[in-house]
Amino acid sequence: MNKLAVIAFGGNALLRSGQKGNYEEQIKNVMQTCDSLTDLLKQNYNIVIGHGNGPQVGNVMLQHEAGKKKFDIEPMPMDFCVAETQGSIGYLIEQGFRNILLREKINRNVVTLLTQVTVDKNDVAFSNPSKPVGPYYKKDEADAIMKATGAIFREDPKGNGWRKVVASPRPLHISNIELIKQLALEENIVISVGGGGIPVVEDGDIKGVEAVIDKDLASALLAVEIGADEFYILTDVEKVYINFRKPGELALNHLTVAQAEEYLAQGQFAEGSMAPKIRAALYFVKNGGKECIITEASQLSNPNCGTRIFW
């Protein structure tokens, strides 16, 4: 029976440091990342792809803002912007995979699913929005938007200006999860939970909310709910480190759950960087997954790649 794996694409799978994010750059990056997964396909893995959308959703919000200023076109809410990027990034990943499948003469379909992810309307994250999104503003501009819309802005600690902040609630359930599993087990390459998923709450009706869900945690939840054997988190380093870029820096080949939790408690993993990935890995392993591998995409051809986290 084929192994089932979930692979969470990091931001550098789409857009790399110093790039502008145009179509040519992104499709080239995606091709390279998809190419790295060829070995898994040749080993008859069934795979589901999750991905980030940070730079892309920021660009969408800038486009909406420009449309408002120039043509008085009302900007769309956050959940709509996430849906936009799920479609556009899904297209790029599909294009990358289809070209590789043609080249390698592998007969598989590739499908992107717009994915809603349910969160708790009473999640404490909504009372303390902390995830910065969208463009930077001057203080008077931010004050005017806050007054007009009720949005919350905070000053960037690096002095770039003021940015809107939204909640980052914990994902609870992924829509169409049985369909995602069925498609994957039928050997289709499935792209889902893009950008962490379109955040929705169930309050009588289902409705979108102003929030950003962590894409690694959403991908971990996806991996648990479809019973994946392995969970890969692709990032811009080959392995997880302790004392990263400090004296005593050490790359880790293996991490038990207990070791990972201890290092987290010590503050070894930076928030907004490696810490969320470690938490996602722990969620997967503690909820039935066999192992999580954190690595850089180009290393996937090495059977001993990355840092492997298990019980």
- 215 in catalytic set: yes
CB atoms within 10 A of CB 302: 11
47 backbone dihedrals φ, ψ, rounded to 5°: -130, 145
The active-site residue, picked from 53, 277, 289, 306, is 277
CA–CA gap between residue 170 and residue 27 (Å, rounded): 30
Report the half-sphere exposure of 44 (CA within 13 A, side-chain side). 4
CA–CA gap between residue 47 and residue 117 (Å, rounded): 20
185: nearest Cα among 47, 286, 69: 47
- 12 in catalytic set: yes
The active-site residue, picked from 29, 54, 164, 215, is 215
List alpha helices for the chain, DSSP H.
23-36, 38-42, 54-71, 78-104, 139-149, 177-185, 215-225, 257-266, 274-286
The active-site residue, picked from 10, 11, 54, 197, is 11
The active-site residue, picked from 131, 164, 181, 239, is 131
- 11 in catalytic set: yes
CB atoms within 10 A of CB 278: 23
The active-site residue, picked from 12, 29, 53, 59, is 12
The catalytic residue positions are: 11-12, 131, 215, 277
